[in-house]
Every structure is written in C-alpha cells, then in structure tokens.
Amino acid sequence: MDITEKAGFYKNLKVRGRRRLAVSELMGTLLMVTITLIAGAAVFGWINGQANSSETAYGASVANNIDFLREHFVVVTQSFAASPPSTSSACSTVGGTNPNYECTLLTFWPYNSGQIAFSLFSVRIQNLTDMPAGAANKNPLNLLIYPASSSGCSGPSQTCGFVEYNKAGTTAICPVTSAWSSTNLDRGFYEFQSPATYVTPTTLSQAQLTPYPYEITMPTSGDCNGAGAQYYLYDGIAYILTFTGLYGNTISTTVTVNG
C-alpha cells in the first residue's frame, strides 16, 4: 500500500469513527431526554396529588370555619324538676333535705340565632359551689352529656350518651354509649314532645326556637358501673352549664337550682 492509499485508509477510519461517536451522542441525548421526561412526569404526578390533598384539607378547614362563624344560638331558659316528664312534681318530692332537695331533671329551650341549621352537640354540667354535706353523688360533678341515640354509639370520638370526668375535665372516668329509649332516659339529652313521646333532638332551622323542650335526666349509678350513687342537681347549688353546637360554638351560663 503506497502513501496515498494509506492516507485514504486512515481517513476512512476517522470518518467511520466520527460516525460511530456521533450515533452514541445521539442515543445518549435521547436517553437523557426520556429519563428527564419520565422523572418529570413522576414528580408532577406526586406534586399534583399533594396539591389536591392540600386543597381538599384547606377547603374542609375553610368550610368548617365558615360554619363556625355562621353558627349562633342561645338557650332561652332552664328549669329543674323531680323527674320526667317536665311537668312533674317539685324536687322536694325526690329526697334530700331542705334547702338542698334533689332534682333529677334539667329542661332547657335552645334557639337558633345563626345563619345555618343548628344541632346541639353536647352539654357540660359542673357544680360551681360545693355539694351539700351528705350528698349522694360525687363532689365535684363534671358530666358531659351528648344527644340520646336509639342505636348507641362507639368509636374514638363519643357522639351520644354521657361521660363523667374528673374535676379538671382531663380524664374520662366512665363513658356510657349504650342505646337510649323512652323507658331508659338517662343516656343523653332528648326532646320531650309529650308524656309518652321522647325523641332524639331535631335540627333547628334559622330563627327557630325548639317547639319542644330538651331534657336531661340525670344518670343513675348503674350507668357508671356502680361508681357512685344517683347523680342529682341540688336545690340551692350553683352549676355551670356549657352548651356546645355542632361546629364548636359554646355558650356558658351559671344557674342556681330552684326546683
């Protein structure tokens, strides 16, 4: 092979080498673009999913805040009696000694003054002054009463029945979630429609006073597994009643029992 032929041979090798190198760069670029697109799609999908979750949570939070702002109510009056029905005799017929007779029934009338339908979620009863000497139930009293339910309730968040708490309200002593009936009234607050008709409280429309009074029959000792005796509201003793709506609004009132 002469010098001219050798020069042509090496030239061809360089050309073929450059062509092979050019093909490798193209494939690498295509692979990098493909990987970038796949990774980008995955990241976009994850971010989009997180955004949707955040938007849903934010929307629920805003909705709850709006409902909270629109929820307003008042409790028009409270009264005390010996036992259901609310037209029954005075507390002095139950027991206790003058002036601290024993009442077992609390009656109240909620009024919806807000801009949204109203449902009462709970009522807390706490004594402000000490129980009389020899009182049957515990001192202090701290009961959280939920709506009565004919089917009962369960789960981590109690929604029916009642709970007895310690004085600080931090420890539940005995939650009761069993079913309620018209013959077993001490399982939450209920709506008294007639001496023979007791129902779970209904939702109140805007600017509506409940057509029937709500009642709480004080629990008996058996409801708390025998821990303590019958719960009473004592004549002459001051109590704090805290009413909480479904969306978290609360009103508290101090009443002195006069039954």
pLDDT tens-digit profile of 243-254? 999 999 999 999
End position of a domain, from candidates 70, 96, 130:
70
| pLDDT of the chain, 259 residues: tens digit per residue | 555 555 555 555 554 544 554 556 777 777 787 888 787 777 777 777 776 666 565 555 555 689 999 999 999 888 888 877 655 677 777 666 777 788 889 999 999 999 999 999 999 999 988 877 777 776 788 899 999 998 888 777 889 999 888 878 888 888 888 888 877 788 899 999 887 788 899 899 999 999 999 999 988 755 564 545 678 888 888 999 999 999 999 999 999 988 6
Neighbours of 207 (CB within 10 A): 10
Residues 162 and 42 occupy one common structural domain: no
Are 58 and 81 contained in the same domain? no
Q: Are residues 134 and 212 in the same domain?
A: yes
Range of the domain at 53: 1-70
**Which region holds residue 162: left if phi is over 0, alpha if psi is between -120 and 50, else beta?**
beta
Count of structural domains within the chain: 2
| Residues 92 and 159 grouped into a single domain | yes
One domain, residues 196 and 214:
yes
| Of 35, 50, 70, the domain-final residue | 70
Shared domain check, 57 and 154: no
88 and 194 assigned to the same domain: yes
In angstroms, the CA 81 to CA 233 distance is 9
| Buried-exposed string 76-105: b where 16+ CB fall within 10 A, e elsewhere | eebbbbbbbbbeeeebbebebeeebbbbbb
> Is there a single domain that holds both residue 62 and residue 96?
no
Q: Which of 41, 70, 99 is the last residue before a domain boundary?
A: 70
Task: Tell whether 89 and 161 lie within a shared domain.
Answer: yes
- State the Rg of the chain over Cα: 36
The structure's pTM equals 0.73
